[in-house]
């Protein structure tokens, strides 16, 4: 899903009476930007996913583990060297053998994105959806949306909300 699609999804959910509360919950948990924390660890067996676009999310500790994994780093380095080094046909053939699959680090990360966990919430949002939520909310407030203006005035008054 690209940003216009996720904004459209948020708008659709916000306009429906039964899912409006869900979007308001996300706004309270994820905005203003900087309120939600980056997903450091994930403890349950269920794979972490964005609650809006369903993208898989990679926790920071998994990325850190990958960065300390000597085998993976070596393979990744080999990939980079092979990719950027010219040379004889044999060298290029060897390079091809190494790079014919995708880059090892990319393979490890796969289609997972970085994501955030809401403040006082168990909901997760990928970075793209968090930005879409921000765009949607800003635009609604500037258009005079009474509900969201009220939500934000309350957030300012009750700073620890």
The residues that touch Zn ion, with contacts defined as CB under 5 A, are 50, 52-53, 55, 126, 129
- Least Å distance, CB 134 to Zn ion, is 13
Both tokens of 124, joined, read: 């997760």
Q: Considering Cα of 75, then 76, then 77, then 80, what sign does the dihedral take? A: positive
- Of 49 and 103, nearer to Zn ion (C-beta) is 49
**3-class DSSP state for residue 39?**
coil
Q: Could you give the CA distance from residue 161 to residue 141 in angstroms, rounded to a whole number? A: 19
Radius of gyration of the chain (CA): 21
- Of 52 and 95, nearer to Zn ion (C-beta) is 52
- Least Å distance, CB 128 to Zn ion, is 5
- Of 47 and 92, nearer to Zn ion (C-beta) is 47
- Of 104 and 115, nearer to Zn ion (C-beta) is 115
Could you tell me the strand order of the sheet in which 124-126 lies?
Answer: 37-38, 115-117, 124-126
In 31-111 the beta strands, taken as DSSP E runs, fall at 37-38
- Least Å distance, CB 36 to Zn ion, is 13
């Amino acid at each position: 899903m690209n940003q216009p699609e996720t904004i459209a999804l948020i708008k659709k959910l916000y306009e429906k009476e039964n899912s409006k509360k869900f979007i308001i919950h996300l706004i309270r948990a994820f905005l203003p930007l900087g309120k939600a924390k980056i997903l450091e660890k994930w403890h349950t067996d269920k794979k972490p996913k964005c609650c809006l676009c369903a993208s898989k999310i990679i926790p920071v500790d998994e990325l850190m583990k990958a960065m300390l994994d000597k085998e993976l780093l070596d393979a990744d380095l080999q990939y980079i060297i092979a990719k950027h080094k010219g040379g004889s046909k044999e060298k290029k053939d060897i390079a091809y053998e190494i790079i014919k699959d995708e880059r090892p680090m990319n393979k490890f990360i796969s289609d997972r994105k970085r994501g955030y966990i809401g403040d006082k919430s168990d909901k997760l949002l990928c970075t793209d959806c968090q930005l879409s939520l921000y765009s949607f909310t800003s635009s609604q407030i500037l258009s005079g949306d009474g509900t969201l203006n009220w939500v934000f005035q309350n957030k300012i008054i009750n700073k620890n909300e």
